[in-house]
Amino acid sequence: MKVGAIQPYHNLKHSSPISSPDTPINDPPDFTGITGVAMSIPEAKQPAIHFDTVKIQKLTLSKKNFEREKHDISAKDASNKVSMYDQKQLMERICILEKETAQLKTQLKEKDVIITNLTELLQHKISEYSQLIEEEQQSHEQTEGKLKQAETLAEEKLQQLQENRKEFEEKAEQLKKLHEEKLAAVLRKSASEISCRDEKISKLKQQISEILQGKSWERQRQIYELKKEVTRVSEEASRLQRELTLQKSLKQECKSCKSLPLKRRPYK
């Protein structure tokens, strides 16, 4: 049986001078003297025996009447004994019920204390978890705010990088056009200088040819000067030829640069 459970009273056993220890308490006979637990048990009325009347009757009655009267008195005594036994059983049952009632009240108080403690613990846990939920919501809002700031900053940086790339591409295109213009100008200048040098060489050759036809000293001196001039012009033509070759190689390198990917400038 669980602690605090109520044992039915009809299974309770007790010891008394009348009943044995193993004899259960039987249900009492119909008894209308008790209307509630708190009411006291009415005292059984003892039969009033007038001994004087019995003595007079003993003198006047016959032996048969005397025996009959004696039998009636014995029956009344037995009935009184049975009534006293029932009263004792009821008293014992009332004591047991009072003990069980006190035990139930004690258990009820203990359960009330337990319920109160559990209610306080529940309220404390509710308050604690409510605070934790509020803190978690605040942390979530802060994290969400930081995430939005990071996204905004990333978008701004990406936009800045795109603008820098566009600006770099525009500048590269401008530099490319400028380089092509300068290269074209150098090529035109080189071609003009080469043409001029070729014309001078032709004139010098003609003069040399004319000088070679004469035998005078003056002509020899002029030939010497012309040779020096030819040597100088040849060196100048070689120099211009090297510059032209260099410019052509630079132009080819610029064309090969078109296939190379543009390097991004580091973002500061």
- What residue spans define the domains of the chain? 9-24+48-137
pLDDT one-digit tens code per residue, 133-170: 999 999 999 999 999 999 999 999 999 999 999 999 99
Radius of gyration of the chain (CA): 70
Amino acid at 119: T
For residue 31, give the nearest of 76, 73, 111, 89 by alpha carbon: 89
One DSSP character per residue, 43-91 reads PPPPPP--HHHHHHHHHHS-HHHHHHHHHHHHHHHHHHHHHHHHHHHHH
Residue showing tokens 């308490």: 25
Phi, psi of 134 (to 5 degrees): -65, -45
pLDDT, residue 163, reads: 92
pLDDT one-digit tens code per residue, 7-64: 444 443 443 333 333 444 444 444 444 444 444 444 444 444 444 444 444 445 455 5
Which 3-state string (H, E, C) describes 194-219?
Answer: HHHHHHHHHHHHHHHHHHHHCCCHHH
Is the pLDDT at 89 greater than 80? The verdict is: yes
Phi, psi of 258 (to 5 degrees): -65, -30
Q: Do 6 and 97 form a contact (C-beta atoms < 8 A)?
A: no
Of residues 268 and 64, which shows the higher confidence score?
Answer: 64
Is the pLDDT at 185 greater than 50? The verdict is: yes
For residue 193, give the nearest of 231, 249, 239 by alpha carbon: 239
Is residue 24 classed as helix, strand or coil in its secondary structure? Answer: strand
pLDDT band at 233 (very low <50, low <70, confident <90, very high): confident
